[in-house]
Structures are given as structure tokens and as C-alpha cells.
């Protein structure tokens, strides 16, 4: 091992503490702070996008694989899922189908380097679709729009055009 790797390595207790703090952050969050699950096997994309989203004030949980994302989704409810399509083992396609089946209301944003014709079917399952290289301003604006939406009311508001009975 090189000296630089040894110098940056956390002691096991610190690594465990960092992991525990990360888990608590994803469970206990201040009101109004949405949690985004970010899934991409490309560490450069994942880390830079994580920083951008965190600077916007969102709690970001990153997963390096579809398997890691499914483990997180088994015990947590993010407000938004962002996933790459092409990953080994459990792909972004698998996550799309799984979450559409189990949590159809979860907004899912797809990010991919696939050419548009090859990824066109993702549009049917995803809330938003973004081609790599990413237009970060468009992505951030779409996340803001999606997370600001209020849940649909349980009963529709009264229609003022329909005559209402007198009390």
C-alpha cells in the first residue's frame, strides 16, 4: 500500500461512526429537507452530483450499485430516486420496474449515457429523463419543481361553476 492511502484511511471506529451518522441523517431529517437516493456506478458522476445536490440543501444518499440502492430502499423512503440505467447486476431498468411496482408514487429521474433511441422506453417509467453529459441546471430545476409539488388532495375541491345548495 502506498503511504498516501495509509494516511487517508479512517480507523475502523471512525468508519463505523461515519456510517452510523450517515444512516441517522437518512432517517432523521429536518422538516422540509427532502431526501434523494442517487444511484450511479460511475464514482466521478456520483460524487460530483452528490455535491451539487447537497449544496442545494437536499439530503443525498448515494449508492454505487443497484443492489446497494435496493438495500437502502428496503428500509428507507426517499422523496426522489435518481438512477443511471446501465449498471452491472441490478440495473437502473431493474430499479425502475421494481419501484414502479412497489412505490408507483416515487418520482424517479433517469440519467444515462445511452443514445436516446436505446433509452426511449425509460420515459414511460421515469418521471424525468436526462442525457449525459448532464445539464445540471435543468436537472436541479426539475428536482425543485418535483419536490415542491403538494400531494394531491384526498377529495377534489368544490367546482365553483356547479351550483351549491344554500345552507
Position 124 scores a pLDDT of 63
User: pLDDT digit string (tens) for 83-134?
Assistant: 998 888 988 888 988 888 889 999 999 998 877 655 566 556 778 888 889 9
DSSP per position, 56-76: TT-EEEEESSHHHHHHHHHH-
Q: Is 129 helix (H, G, I), strand (E, B) or coil?
A: strand
What is the mean predicted confidence (pLDDT) over 129-151? 87
User: pLDDT digit string (tens) for 37-84?
Assistant: 999 999 999 999 999 999 999 999 999 999 999 999 999 999 999 999
Report how far residue 140's alpha carbon sits from residue 50's, in angstroms, rounded to the nearest whole number: 12
Write out the E strands in 58-160: 59-63, 80-84, 108-112, 128-131
| CA-closest candidate to residue 35, choices 77, 74, 70, 75 | 77
Per CATH, the architecture of 31-148 is what? 3-Layer(aba) Sandwich (3.40)
Amino acid at each position: 500500500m502506498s503511504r498516501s492511502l495509509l494516511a487517508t484511511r479512517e480507523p475502523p471506529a471512525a468508519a463505523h461512526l461515519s456510517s452510523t451518522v450517515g444512516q441517522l441523517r437518512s432517517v432523521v431529517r429536518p422538516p422540509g429537507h427532502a431526501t434523494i437516493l442517487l444511484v450511479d456506478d460511475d464514482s466521478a458522476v456520483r460524487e460530483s452530483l452528490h455535491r451539487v445536490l447537497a449544496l442545494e440543501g437536499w439530503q443525498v444518499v448515494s449508492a454505487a450499485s443497484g443492489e446497494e440502492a435496493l438495500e437502502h430502499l428496503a428500509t428507507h423512503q426517499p422523496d426522489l430516486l435518481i438512477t443511471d440505467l446501465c449498471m452491472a447486476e441490478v440495473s437502473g431498468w431493474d430499479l425502475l420496474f421494481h419501484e414502479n411496482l412497489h412505490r408507483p408514487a416515487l418520482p424517479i429521474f433517469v440519467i444515462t449515457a445511452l443514445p436516446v433511441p436505446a433509452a426511449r422506453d425509460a420515459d414511460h417509467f421515469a418521471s424525468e429523463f436526462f442525457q449525459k453529459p448532464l445539464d445540471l441546471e435543468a436537472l436541479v430545476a426539475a428536482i425543485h419543481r418535483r419536490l415542491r409539488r403538494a400531494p394531491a388532495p384526498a377529495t377534489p375541491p368544490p367546482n365553483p361553476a356547479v351550483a351549491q345548495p344554500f345552507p
